[in-house]
Structure 1
Amino acid sequence: MMVLGIQKSVIDQVLHANVLQRINDSEYYGNEYSLNEVMNNLTAAIFVADKNATTLSQSLQANRVRFSLEQNEQIRQFGKSRCTIPAAEYFG
């Protein structure tokens, strides 16, 4: 599944802690595309309407949910600064 692998790579890059921090910090320098908008657009792109969902998109959705749950648990246990889960673990 080459397409899923490419999608996973893009998501891994976007969800990397350093990239998220740079997106967040870029608002101070005039960027009008907020981290909240990035995450909302990413979520909207992944979670399409059921009637449009393919097995490929369903797999991507399932991996995204697992990643979010694990990341939230790690943040709960260790705090945001120590959240080190690579997205590739779920999407790679």
Structure 2
Amino acid sequence: MNRSIQSKIVSFFLSIAIVLLWARYGAPKSPNVLTGVNKFVLEIFVYGVGSIAFYKLFGNSIGTIYLSVVVVDLFFMYVLGLQGN
């Protein structure tokens, strides 16, 4: 199988898995919503995968901008207590 096709298939299934994982444990109205450190670990995982994808798709500059926005967002969400749960 072509490496490009394999990469697309893996990316597709990884994105589906992340959506299902977030819907089950990350969504604020989910009955199984995670809180505290567990929620933080989930967010780091989800945003980390997104950062890697941005680096691979768009290069270093866009990947770095995305990662910077994510870090600042998470920092202020936790420092200011804006998580909502």
Instruction: Please indicate, yes or no, whether the TM-score normalized by the shorter chain is above 0.5.
Output: no
Indicate the structure (1 or 2) with the bigger Cα radius of gyration.
2
TM-score between the two structures when normalised by the length of structure 1? 0.31
TM-score between the two structures when normalised by the length of structure 2? 0.32
